[in-house]
Amino acid sequence: MDLNLSGRVAVVTGASKGIGLAVTRTLLAEGARVVATSRKPSQELDELAGPDLVHFPADLMDPEAPAALIAHAVEVFGGLDILVNNAGGPPPGVTLPRGSFMDATDEQWRMMFELNLFSVVRAIRAAIPAMLARGGGSIVNVSSGNARQPSPINVDYGAAKAGVNNLTKVLAGEYGPQGLRVNTVSPGPVRTPLWTEEGGVADLIAAQAGIDRESVLSSVVPEMMKLATGRLADPQEVADAVVLLASPRSGSTTGADLAVDSGFLKEV
């Protein structure tokens, strides 16, 4: 299926690995031009180098960084059609999962919201004028199943992502008449470096359970989280949903939240 993305300009945050890397790779394959941002590049992102890819190094917790990112995309490629707010998760120095609500300090709450909500707000604020100048566009915010399924071990993260979902609904209503669509994709557990790398979530659970990392990923987490598919999602599966929502082929979809979560969410 042709997603009609050839020549369109996209910004992807958190693009150096995991879901963001998969989104960047997929957009390029569909003919889009991409400004990919992360604190630093990665070997996998460098392997995608070409005339249609620009890396913009930035720490999106810096209040000035999101606007600078959008301005750079407009300067390099002449405009903006797609914004994928993927950067998120625990900020530097913060480890998830927690033991309980009481384990998160005020400063950790602030940092979590800076990365997972406020950076999204700032990027969207900067992107809207550029998108409206081209007649509209698509914003896809990568949220989380924890936005709708509260968890005491991820309480600050879930609260920030719930804010992203609320923001998305508001923006979809306000800007839909001007041709700007805004949606969320909510992953469950995904085989990204957050889970799989040394010292990641799987290692933390493995240390508590006295088992190995692969057992955590292949059986313990799917059973613990009651994943209907029996496995963690692949980053590409999330990226496919993101890029479809970014595409004009989803022209009547706005204000939606698409779960790509292996059946994690059970409520109607």
Active-site positions?
157
The DSSP letter of residue 260 is E
> Per residue, what are the HEC states of 182-200?
EEEEEECCECCHHHHCCCC
Q: Say if CB 224 and CB 110 are below 8 A apart.
A: no
Q: How many helices (H) and strands (E) does the chain have?
A: 11, 7
User: What six digits make up the tokens of 224?
Assistant: 């613990």
d(CA 110, CA 124): 20
Distances (CA, A) of 219 to 151, 185, 210, 223, 267: 20, 25, 14, 6, 23
d(CA 131, CA 112): 28
- Burial label for 52, CB within 10 Å (0-12, 13-18, 19+), is middle
**Beta-bridge mates of residue 82:** 10, 138
Distances (CA, A) of 61 to 91, 97, 114, 117, 210: 9, 21, 6, 10, 35
